[in-house]
Chain A
């Protein structure tokens, strides 16, 4: 698997799109830090960008890479390599190179700004870690979609729908249901609903770490009580990990049974 990972990674690192993605984050980091000069505000703005953009890029890149390398995959399938190694290798290659663009692109300007001497280092690391998690989650989901759809257009469609659902529609339904059932105690429900969407989970994690949960009102207090504790932090990290592991398992399973 490592060999496949290596070649997928090299292939992507040399492609133009990885550079564009990297430069975008570099530019974003520089502009936010040096024109704004307020570290925690910069982190919040970055959070908003990351939480929407990282899943989008992850899904699109994942689907695109899979369909683009289909013939090459067939060449690999005729070689003495395990099927699961081929697909898991490709997945980790794509996800790692995307995560690296994000971490290095944003990391560099912050390092020059002097993040290591500042108290915001933990907020910032959390931001990068959740960003990397989101990359791995959505690339895996994209691979699952692409593997189960031979038709390119359909695959792209489902991938975009998935992103739209997770990033936008889910929140809408969540809010509506909160309004609709406002007469009932909702703290357990809203905690669970947050846990079940990686995008929401990342957002809440970062917001609470930034200590602006007071802005969130009553739910903020409930969330702070839960996510602010060590238990909450461990559970939510575990939840993000589950969001990586489950789709990866599906990649493995679908790849094992598919005809090429």
Chain B
């Protein structure tokens, strides 16, 4: 599904990605973990074509990304910070994104129902709370039926009920055979949903595999301690 080969990227003097090699197969939930500033978001933005790598290649379904924008039709993306043009109403924003993607079948109505957004449809985006904006963000990300879904910190600002609904939504998408890429700092959330984790440390892939594999590699009994032991080893 996604193949990343020898990816390098630096911003000024700050080398963020130092040779990432990664292959993600079709189907399943993959969680990208790593400390702050390890390059998670940069990697995701490279896959989306928002950040242009210094060297290295990315293929999606065996097609290279360079000079290609149509492949983004196959990706649903949830950005980390939800900020929308304040002059627009929620319903207008949804209609606009639909129009831009020329999508025929969308499930925006189901999602609006799921996250109980009906009372906000005619409100301007500038007047919404952070959590409500995140729900709108989720509707925009999930309303198309793309085979690849990328979620950058999907849980931020959500109340417990919405959190639960989001989890069920992610599972139901997985059932359909989709590939889902999630970054999150909430380890209990990751442990619950992820089939495999990809751990990035200092711009390189430190570990890729299932959670039990990580536990045995670090000789820890629970997931949180396993992650902590990687981090303390790297800082020591």
Contact = CB atoms under 8 A, between A and B. Distances in A.
Contact of A77 (B50, B96, B97): B50
A76 interface: yes
Contact of A81 (B45, B48, B69): B69
B88 interface: yes
B19 interface: no
A83 B70 CA distance: 11
Contact of A11 (B48, B70, B85): B85
A72 B88 CA distance: 11
A259 interface: yes
Given A11-B85, A260-B50, A80 B79 contact: no
Contact of A257 (B11, B52, B71, B140): B52
B96 A7 contact: yes
B69 A76 contact: no
Interface string B71-109: 111010101010111011000000011011100000000
Interface in A67-82: 69, 71-72, 74-82
A71 B72 contact: no
Given A7-B96, A76-B100, A83 B84 contact: no
B50 A80 contact: no
B51 interface: yes
B75 A78 contact: yes
Nearest to B71: A80
A260 B88 contact: no
Contacts of A260: 45, 50-51
A15 interface: yes
Counting chain A residues whose Cβ lies within 8 A of the other chain, the interface size class is 20 to 34
Contact of A72 (B52, B70, B83, B101): B83
A69 B85 CA distance: 7
Nearest to B125: A72
B98 to A, nearest CB: 11
A188 interface: no
Contacts of B77: 78
B72 A79 contact: yes
B51 A11 contact: no
Interface-centre pick from A71, A74, A75, A81 (highest chain B CB count, 10 A): A75
A110 to B, nearest CB: 31
A45 B83 CA distance: 43
A3 interface: yes
Given A259-B50, A259-B51, A260-B51, A80 B87 contact: no
A14 interface: yes
A75 B51 contact: no
A134 to B, nearest CB: 26
A72 B136 CA distance: 14
Interface string A1-28: 0011001000100110000000000000
Interface-centre pick from A15, A71, A77 (highest chain B CB count, 10 A): A77
Given A72-B83, A79-B97, 6 more contacts: A3-B100, A11-B85, A79-B101, A80-B71, A80-B73, A259-B52
8 contacts: A11-B85, A71-B83, A77-B49, A78-B50, A81-B100, A82-B69, A83-B69, A260-B45
Closest A-B pairs by Cβ, 6 of them: A71-B83, A80-B72, A78-B77, A80-B73, A259-B51, A260-B50
Interface of B: 11, 45, 48-52, 69-73, 75, 77, 79, 81, 83-85, 87-88, 96-97, 99-101, 140
